[in-house]
């Protein structure tokens, strides 16, 4: 099952460093088998059927992690990391 979380809710926007720190969080999630929380998520959109991870992280084996970085001016990147233990 796909989990959805956002670390930016804990770090704020780091501008040019945002994608780099999100990549680090993604690799740590794989290494530690831990999905980080989305801080301060109080009311998820009931129209969306997503497995949000609000306010408290979750232990879970992860085979892959996707990191989306959407920047100012349309500078966007997506990275997929694979758990090498799998």
In this prediction the pTM is: 0.88
pLDDT digits (tens, 9 = 90+) for 61-85: 999 999 999 988 899 999 999 999 9
| Domain extent at residue 77 | 3-82
Average pLDDT, the chain: 95
Count up the domains in the chain and report the number: 1
Write a three-state SS string for the chain: CCEECCCHHHHCCCHHHHHHHHHHHHHHHHHHCEECCECCCCCCCCCCCCEECECCCEECCCCEEEEEEECHHHCEEEEEEECCCC
Q: What is the CATH number of the domain that holds 61?
A: 3.40.47.10
pLDDT of 22 strictly over 90: yes
């Amino acid at each position: 099952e796909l989990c959805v979380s956002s670390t930016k809710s804990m770090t704020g926007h780091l501008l040019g460093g945002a994608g780099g720190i999100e990549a680090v969080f993604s690799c740590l999630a794989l290494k530690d088998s831990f999905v980080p929380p989305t801080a301060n998520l109080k009311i998820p959109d009931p129209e969306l059927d997503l497995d949000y991870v609000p306010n408290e992280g979750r232990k879970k084996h992860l085979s892959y992690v996707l990191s989306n970085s959407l920047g100012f001016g349309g500078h966007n990147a997506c990275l997929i990391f694979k758990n090498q233990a799998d």
